Amino acid sequence: MTRTSSTARRSWISSRLMTGIPEMSRLTGTSRRHRGFTLAEVLVVAVVMMLLAGLIVPRITGLQGRRNELALEQITDLMTMFAYKESIGDQQVGIWMDPQRDAISLMILDVDPEAPSEPAFWRRDVLVPEVRLPEGVRIAEVLENQLRMNTDGEWFIKSVPGEDRPMIQVRLEAPGMDTTLTLLPHSHSPYRSEDSGESEGFREAFDLDDAGRTRDVW
Domain contains 211: no
Contact 165, 145 (CB under 8 A): no
CATH number at residue 154: 3.55.40
Domain contains 24: no
- pLDDT-derived band at 76 (thresholds 50, 70, 90) equals very high
Q: How many domains does the chain have?
A: 1
Per the structure, the complete domain to which residue 91 belongs is given by: 45-200
Domain contains 91: yes
Domain contains 210: no
Domain contains 15: no
Domain contains 196: yes
Domain contains 54: yes
- pLDDT-derived band at 27 (thresholds 50, 70, 90) equals very low
pLDDT in tens, 129-181: 999 998 889 999 999 999 999 988 899 999 988 889 999 999 999 988 899 99
| Among the listed residues 74, 76, 67, 65, the one whose alpha carbon sits nearest the alpha carbon of residue 180 | 76
